[in-house]
Amino acid sequence: MEWRASHILVKEKSLAEQILKRLKSGGRFEALAREYSTCPSKSKGGDLGWFGPGKMVKPFEDALVKLRHGRVSGVVRTQFGYHIIKKTGER
């Protein structure tokens, strides 16, 4: 199994929650990733490409596995900060 995902990574939980509200009210994931994410993937709208099990930290992978294709997670905390994850593929 492999997944493709995009994410928005920020340091503050309150900022992640604000971004999530904007997404739920129609904000574009890619645009918000470019604007707010602290990850280098921000230049690609948050796209992380394809990866398999064990390639991401456990809380990130656990949240991703539960998502249906095209869906966006809630705020997910890891040692890197707070993520909002969008599953964009599964094979």
pLDDT, one tens digit per residue, over 60-74 is: 999 999 999 999 999
> Please, which residues bridge with residue 51 across strands?
3
Q: How many domains does the chain have?
A: 1
Backbone torsions φ then ψ of 13, nearest 5 degrees:
-65, -40
Q: Based on the number of CB atoms within 10 Å of its own CB, is 23 exposed (0-12), middle (13-18) or buried (19 or more)?
A: middle
The H or E element that residue 73 is part of is strand 72-78
18-28, pLDDT tens digit by residue? Answer: 999 999 999 99
The enclosing domain of 30 has a CATH number of 3.10.50.40
